[in-house]
Amino acid sequence: MTSSNADAPVGIKSVSGLSDANLAKMGLSNDISFIFTTASGATQTVAYVSGTGTYATSIGTDTDPVTSVQIQENTAMTTPVTTTQYTPQLTVGLTSYNTSGVTTVTAASTATNTLTDGSQVTTKTVPTTRGYGTDALSIVNSNTPAGTNYYNLGDTATLSATVIANSVNSALYSTGVGLMVSDSGATAEAYEKANPITVVVIAPEYTSFASDDTITASLVGNSNGSGIASSADAVTITHLDNLGDQQVISISGLDNYLKNSSISIPVVVNADAPAGAAIASSNTIFVQPSATLSGTASNGTKFDQLTTLGSVTADLNAGNLYNVTNTSDQILGTVIASATFNTNDSIQGSADSAAQVSTGTINVSTDSATGKTILYNGTTTALTDSNTTVSLIDPTTNTQSILLTGPVTVTTSTGATVTGATVTYYKDGAVVTDPTTADSFSVSNIPLASKATTTVSYNLTINSDQLTGITTGKSWQYTTAVQSYSSGTLAAGNAVALGTTTDKTMTLQAVHTLTDTWYSATEDADGNYVQGTELGSYTNVTGTVYSGTKVADITGATVGQAMPDDANSVLLGIYDVSSGTLITDPTAITMVENLGSDDTSVVGSTYYVVTGPRYSTQTTDVTYTVNYSGAGDATPAAQSEQVTWTGTTDATTGTTTWVADSDINAIATPDVTGYTASVASVYGDDFDHCAD
């Protein structure tokens, strides 16, 4: 491999593209090695491992780059190969040691086969020449997701796209020997960590985003490091203002894009999505501009180079984003349209981001919800009438806690009011005119043309006396019932029912907006935790799961080990003050409701990050005594000397190292007439000051 510009040296960093299957097709065994060779002749051999796709070298510098990589078979394949020729596409990863100017990289691939008689046959050399620019990482926009799926209400669909080309110049992609500028190993990881990317995602119409936890899991992959983000702690999801009815999020901290540049975002089909609605995927995934990104498309063309306006919101509002899903008119699939008369109920509470299939959630601070009963005539003939009945009496308790806040509305699929519909409100079986006093209502006189949709909507609230104190575990139900008619009308008394009544039970539950607060803490001599400074706080609703290590800024901390930012401190534990328990997994904290000090208000939780000194010391006095024997009555008396030892215990390992505070002077053996001492003295220079 050669470079046309000596001021822009380029070296080989990796090779990929081999597998057990294509080695077998080539007539090679799995016992092969990759031999990387620098310009000066230095080599490094890397063994092939079954199941591993990429092999990187650690040698090569700007003055002595790796200029070739050889694939060597160590053990011959003895099984006959049925294919006459098979040449896999190999990808050679390059790195530039200098960005001053551009260069043209010329690579050549040659295969040499050793025959059974020992002779060698060399195949024709295949050259590949590509320009190497000084662009940053490239944006890809070639694969707007598309599909022909059919979705039920509440089903999950997945938006997916490749957002980074993993190359400084995407024109380097080629067939044959595939040149690709991408670093690997520790260098690439360091680059990604220093230059994470941010994407903006707009949920398709009629969908809403899955939970933040579900999205994060999709970004991280089955195991940390297999997705576009290295870990859950690296990811930050921010919910932005809706664009019309479509939800918008930004996702920052994507720091594993050189290993996996594909992003997958799960969305859920809304419970009130109309039958036959298309779930579009065009114009849904965007990348925020940054200094590390260029506008190079996957086909080598150029977008306008963008510069961030300083925030995701500003870039979104100005349309200043790279659109990686700009293929027009692409859809993931459509909402199933029944061929029969069909009803769907939905409920959306003030804490819900979209309509739910069966259980809605209100926020106590905004006690409101909207229920809908959607009627769809999937038959080929018109229906002359239908009757929808909603009972606000909880079937499990036979009491009413859910109330109407206003009149019921009846609309067509275009939003127009169905003027002929008859809405009747009841209380204890008697007709009432004020909907807020009703415990049930019915809607009739709604004919439905073939393939037509009518929606009955009603705004709800929960009786305030049900929302005092902790609401976790509480729920309230109501029921709906729909009957359609193939001929006649209810008003005329000649309606002929089509099929049987469709019944459904709907549920409302309540959450509070809570704030969890994290503090540093230490442990006193009595074992009590002493609160220190505030480390951070997190506000969301009951049941939300979040990373406490991210909020407290202690990512990477492990109980019993040194703190990442202070080698002399050890993390003793994470203490939940509200429950009086130790937390085993601070990366997944669930927000729970607690009664405030007034026994009425509802508050979040308090957590202590308890640390202590890593090293502790203790002292002990040791008396060293020399006893004598062998001289009868003339035997000298024992002599003693005391030394203080200091022990240092490392809390991370539990080991203690002892060091003497002073020397022991040599204790001379007394002279005894007629006797010769076996040793002249004890201790002194022979004293060992250290012990474990």
User: For the segment 525-550, what is each residue's pLDDT rounded down to a tens digit?
Assistant: 888 999 999 999 999 999 999 999 99
User: In whole angstroms, how far apart are CA 218 and each of 72, 112, 200, 221, 265?
Assistant: 38, 44, 16, 5, 7
Q: What is the pLDDT of residue 516?
A: 97
Say if residue 292 is exposed, middle or buried (CB neighbours under 10 Å; 0-12, 13-18, 19+): middle
Say what the pLDDT of residue 66 is: 85
Same domain, 234 and 317: yes
Rounded to an integer, the average pLDDT of 613-619 is 92
Nearest to 227 by CA among 235, 218, 236, 238: 218
Query: In a 3-state reduction of DSSP, which class is residue 580?
Result: coil
Q: Which of the two residues, 217 and 130, has the higher pLDDT score?
A: 217
**Do 403 and 538 fall into the same domain?**
no
Check residue 116 and give its pLDDT. Answer: 57
- 278 Rama sector, left if φ>0, alpha if ψ -120 to 50, beta otherwise: beta
Query: Residue 361: phi, psi to the nearest 5?
Result: -130, 125
Residue pLDDT, tens place only, 450-492: 999 999 999 999 999 999 999 999 999 999 999 999 999 999 9
Of 196, 212, 213, 255, the C-alpha closest to 230 is 255
Range of weakest confidence among 56-70, 90-104, 434-448, 622-636: 90-104
Residue 137 lies in a domain: no
pLDDT of residue 439: 97
Q: Do 318 and 353 lie in a common domain?
A: no
In this structure, are 202 and 306 located in the same domain?
yes
- In terms of domains, do 525 and 482 share one? no
Q: Per residue in 313-359, pLDDT tens?
A: 999 999 998 888 887 888 899 998 888 898 999 999 999 989 999 99
- Alpha-carbon distance of 299 to 138, in angstroms, equals 11
Asked if residue 127 belongs to a domain, the reply is yes
**Model pLDDT for residues 367-410, shown as the tens digit of each residue:** 999 999 999 999 899 999 999 999 999 999 999 999 999 999 99
Report pLDDT for 300.
Answer: 45
- Burial of residue 653 (CB within 10 Å: 0-12, 13-18, 19+) is exposed
Distances (CA, A) of 530 to 427, 523, 552: 58, 6, 17
pLDDT of residue 301: 47
Q: State whether residue 97 is helix, strand or coil.
A: coil
In a shared domain, residues 90 and 103: yes
pLDDT over 50 at 76, yes or no: yes
Looking at the structure, do residues 650 and 625 belong to the same domain, yes or no?
yes
Tell whether the model's pLDDT for residue 100 goes beyond 50. Answer: no
109 band by pLDDT with thresholds 50, 70 and 90: low
DSSP string, 412-447: ETTS-B-TT-EEEEEETTEEES-GGG-SEEEEE---
Q: What is the pLDDT averaged over residues 52-80?
A: 77
State whether 275 and 306 are in the same domain.
yes
Whether 623 and 638 have beta carbons less than 8 Å apart is answered as: no
Q: What is the pLDDT of residue 135?
A: 44
pLDDT value at residue 224: 60
Say whether both 583 and 449 belong to one domain: no
Domain-ending residue, one of 274, 301, 335: 335
116, part of any domain? yes
Give the mean model confidence (pLDDT) for residues 101-118.
57
Tokens of 143: 């694969």
Is position 642 within any domain? yes
Q: Residues near 207 by Cβ (< 8 Å), separated by ≥ 6? A: 157, 267, 268, 269, 270, 273, 279, 354
Q: Indicate if 356 and 504 belong to the same structural domain.
A: yes
606-613/513-523 β-pairing:
parallel
Q: Is residue 400 part of a domain?
A: yes
Lowest mean pLDDT among 21-30, 173-182, 191-200, 396-405: 173-182
pLDDT for 102 equals: 46
144 assigned to some structural domain: no
Segment 41-49 mean pLDDT: 91
Tell me whether residue 143 is in a domain: no
Q: Determine how β-strand 177-181 pairs with β-strand 90-96.
A: parallel
Question: Looking at the 3D structure of the chain, how many domains does it have?
Answer: 5
Poorest-pLDDT segment among 113-127, 172-186, 323-337, 355-369 = 172-186
Cross-strand bridge partners of residue 496:
487
What average pLDDT is seen over the chain? 83
The CA distance from 222 to 245, in Å, is: 32
| pLDDT recorded at residue 692 | 53
Contact assessment for residue 364 and residue 467, using Cβ atoms and an 8 Å cutoff: yes
Q: pLDDT tier at 667 (50, 70, 90 boundaries)?
A: confident
Strands (E), 301-415: 322-323, 331-335, 341-349, 359-363, 369-377, 385-391, 402-404, 409-412
Per-residue confidence (pLDDT) for residue 174, from 0 to 100: 31
Q: What does the pLDDT average to over 237-259? A: 91
Query: Which residue, among 301, 168, 315, 207, has the nearest Cα to 252 in the 3D structure?
Result: 315
Question: Which of 561, 589, 613 is a domain's end point?
Answer: 613
Q: How many other C-beta atoms are found inside a 10 Å radius of the C-beta of residue 490? A: 18
Are 401 and 459 in contact by the 8 Å Cβ rule? The answer is: no
Identify whether residues 188 and 321 lie together within a single domain: yes
pLDDT above 60: residue 167: no
Query: Is pTM beyond 0.95 here?
Result: no
Range 141-149 average pLDDT: 68
Q: What confidence tens digit (pLDDT) does each residue in 419-444 have?
A: 899 999 999 999 999 999 999 999 99
What domain range is 88 assigned to? 2-132
What is the per-residue pLDDT for 356? Answer: 94
CB 198, CB 287: distance < 8 Å? yes
State whether 380 and 407 are in the same domain: yes
Residue 685 clears pLDDT 90, i.e. is over it: no
Residue 177 has pLDDT above 50, yes or no: no
User: What confidence score (pLDDT) does residue 108 get?
Assistant: 59
Own/partner pairs, 638-647, CB within 8 angstroms, 24+ separation: 639/667, 641/665, 641/667, 641/683, 644/619, 644/620, 645/619, 645/620, 645/621, 645/691, 646/617, 646/618, 646/619, 647/617, 647/618, 647/619, 647/620
Decide: helix, strand or coil at residue 660: strand
What are the CA-CA distances from residue 88 to residues 22, 91, 641 (Å)?
7, 10, 80
The domain boundary residue, chosen from 585, 613, 641: 613
The answer to whether position 142 is within a domain reads no
